[in-house]
Amino acid sequence: MKRLRGKVALITGGNSGIGLAAAQLFAAEGAKLIITGRRQDALDEAVRQIGHDAIGIQGDVADIEHHAHVAKTVQDRFGALDVYMANAGVITIAHSAGVTADEYDAQFNVNTRGVFFGVQSITPVMRDGGSIILTSSLAATKVLQGHAVYAGTKAAITAFARSWALELRERRIRVNVLSPGPVDTSILSKLGIPEAERPAFLQTMADLIPAGRLGEPDELARAALFLASADSTFVNGIELNVDGGMLLT
């Protein structure tokens, strides 16, 4: 039995990395998929890879009108939504002393504001009993060098999730957080770390993980499927760490 049979799922940042892996798995498990992202070429390629009549909507999660457009498209095309995975995110690693206001806003606008207004716009078109998944980060809990702003963006959404789990209780919509450790995706090439220093940085990360390696996008996708599906009907308001044990070190 497919675990998302007959369900409609939307994943922001579904054209790459963890979001794309989750979209592929959700579609294979019977869901109709809508993905979003800014790059149209990456969206087109992701829609092709996902198959199963997935659709892509181009836009920026920091733009509130984009969320209104997404919600209307969901309603027009599918009637209602069962699973919303707020996954789009960006990261820049920098010591706080050198962070400009623009750099600060760039991360908060996508990782925090984008999640808040995405959920605000989409909940009216969600079916009662649905599932909302917010992709946070291990960095929200574990202190990592140069991650102060990024950690703040992600810690905020964990707080949102707890409030929303209660605010949406009458509608039986569950809200959970998926918290990845370092995962091998293209975000690792956008950290702001010089190319020459990246291998050493990634090795340092791997050494901190009891599993001895970075995670794979599919390992996060399987955890997201758990939170999206009826396998987790009594799981609400949690933060699910999928980090190979890195939180322990």
- Residues annotated as part of the active site: 150
Binds ligand NAP (CB under 6 A): choice among 74, 90, 133, 168: 90
Our CA angle for 115, 119, 125, nearest 5°, is 155
Name the one residue in this structure whose structure tokens are 């009662």: 128
Cα gap 42→217, rounded to integer Å: 17
Q: How far is the CB of 150 from ligand NAP (least distance, A)?
A: 7
| Cβ–Cβ under 8 Å, residues 80 and 127 | yes
Binds ligand NAP (CB under 6 A): choice among 67, 84, 85, 87: 87
Our CA angle for 130, 136, 141, nearest 5°, is 130
Angle between helices 114-122 and 64-78 (to 10 degrees): 30
Q: How far is the CB of 132 from ligand NAP (least distance, A)?
A: 14
Q: Does 137 bind ligand NAP (CB under 6 A)?
A: yes
Residue 195, CA distances (Å) to 116, 142, 185, 198 in order: 33, 25, 15, 5
Binds ligand NAP (CB under 6 A): choice among 9, 10, 18, 83: 18
Binds ligand NAP (CB under 6 A): choice among 29, 45, 60, 103: 60
Q: Does 177 bind ligand NAP (CB under 6 A)?
A: no
Q: How many residues bind ligand NAP (CB under 6 A)?
A: 29
SS3 category, 209: coil
| Cβ–Cβ under 8 Å, residues 212 and 206 | yes
Q: Which of residues 108-127 bind ligand NAP (CB under 6 A)?
A: 110
Q: Does 183 bind ligand NAP (CB under 6 A)?
A: yes
Q: Which residue, 19 or 130, is less far from ligand NAP as judged by CB?
A: 19
Strand partners, 86: 134
Q: Which residue, 60 or 239, is less far from ligand NAP as judged by CB?
A: 60
Q: Which residues bind ligand NAP (CB under 6 A)?
A: 12-13, 15-19, 36-39, 42, 60-62, 87-91, 110, 135, 137, 180, 182-183, 185-187
